[in-house]
Structure 1
Amino acid sequence: MQQRILGRTGRTISAIGLGTWQLGADWGDVDESSAFDVLRASVDAGVTFFDTADVYGDGRSEQFIGRFLAQHPDLEITVATKMGRRGPQDPAQFTLDNFRAWTDRSRENLGVDTLDLVQLHCPPTPVFSSDAVYDALDTLVAEQRIANYGVSVETCDEALAAIARPGTASVQIIVNAFRLKPLDEVLPAAAAAGVGIIVRVPLASGLLSGKYTAETTFPASDHRNYNRDGSAFDVGETFAGVDFETGVRAAQEFAALVPEGVTPAAAALSWVSNLDGVSTVIPGARNRAQAEGNAAAGSVELPAEFDAGVHDIYDRFFREAVHPRW
């Protein structure tokens, strides 16, 4: 597993991490035994970075991680959590008092005194330009509630605003073969500033696994069912911002690019993790096999022409429809 420095945190982490939204049972039911199996398999495969949030299963994901790490105190794992979506999405809610309450809850869930990294969880756009917000985050660091802070964003402009702040350690943003806009400005700006980039949704909510057809259905509780059109949160947060059938066709062409002996998912993870400026990629996993497959993608080598093929598919299926959006 390749190792990278996570921006201004100075921490060394694995190039392939683990996203744990699914452990909160927001992608269908995951029991504690299955959750621990995913965490253990990821660690065994060299993963040293877990990403979670206080709203994943209303804290369930954080609690699983906290109990797992308490049982394995020898592990050197960096845990990033998020805050800011437990209340109304009003910039006035992003205050020091609320930050203290939210981080205290996460500290309890994770069983730690100081959180490794706390990210604002896709807050309203004005939050990214608020001096008071960054002053409050600096106060949390001074109080040792958190060691570092970063942001999770929906748009490139939000990312650039956060990168310009001297205390921002990392930016979490959607980047995948169907979401290339961050390559234009965000990744170069982050690299120049020494800010880490955490890539979320690297498989376009599973589209890039090559397993879906236009007839694929998902459980009622799965965000891939209820957020296909962006009604629950931002358009393109689930899948790629185009209609599902178009995404499936693009995924079929992507799969045709993949070298023999490599899965589409492994190719997608390898490609995005090796982009200049990317610190780590956080695919989710619901079982041991998925966790092992994700981690193994860190050692996949792709032919030189693969990148050109990715850009060609993006230009034909996505650029006109989604590039201006984010």
Structure 2
Amino acid sequence: MSVSHQRIPILVNDQSYIGHARRQAVAIAESLAFSETAAGNLGIIVTEAGRNIALHAGSGEIVLAPWTMDGYAGVDVVALDRGPGIGDIERALEDGFSTAGTAGTGLGAMRRLAQEFQVYSIPRAGTVVFARVFARPITDMTAVRGISRVGVMNLPMQGEVHCGDAWKVIRAGGRSLYMIADGLGHGRDAALASNRACEVLEQNPGLLPEDLLGEMHRALRKTRGAAVSIATLDGRRTLHYAGAGNISGVLHAGGSHQNLVSMNGTVGHTVNRVREFLYTWEGEATLILYSDGLSSRWTLEQYPGLLGKHPALIAAVLYRDHCRGRDDVTVLVVRI
């Protein structure tokens, strides 16, 4: 079963949560065979992220997002708050700058220790900080360019250990495959269904989305079933897409966006019709897939400059502002 992401609340009057977040991060690092240096860097980043929230926002949360892709492993640290925001991000990243009377090493230290780092902040609307740490040192970031174009938030419903949503990114034979599966309901049985969908994708990376859904429909018959959406990219600015159930997708390109079409049904139980759709575009595009744990009442136009940010930062901002809070939630963002 895949490891879902973890959320840790940060409160100004109870900073024990910062230590808890650090311990959770270290445990995740051990499970992913982090080098000693990388694990230490991860712990420092989490500590600084928690302190920043407590000092400047009063409350917020840290999300620890482990991942494995293309033979690499790592953890994304995401710090989210709805505090006063940062008026001058570049100045805030300078060592020695602080508005809270501290040494002013928080954001600057995080940026130095992370392989990827970005901040998105709107005055009076809050801040999201993203820091990515690889399990092993990366000397050439061009080698992980594909990973740098992916970001995801994948969290269980409050009170659950297992996340009923699962996601997968596979690159094979010159193709890239992106999937979200949302097992019916939530908890362990929902997770078993969504993870079974991931297994089918791993076993059949050469199939088109329509055929993959057919394979999954057969494989998930003994499970609760799942909503599934699959997108494949062949490198020619053509996206093949098929979905069944309430996974949503949107493709942003050229200053506009297209909503991706899914059919009704539950994979593994009842799917009346599976149909594959093709989407094309010019220039660079951003694909966003999300489960129904995220409200659909948003547009990226609400967020000045966000579309140009790291995909993980886009996923985090959408999660912070539009998570329904009563279901598992997954947001997968890919620059394609």
TM-score between both structures, scaled by the size of structure 2: 0.29
Larger fraction in strand: 2
Give 1 or 2 for the bigger CA radius of gyration.
Answer: 2
Structure with the larger RCO, 1 or 2 (CA within 8 Å, 6+ apart): 1
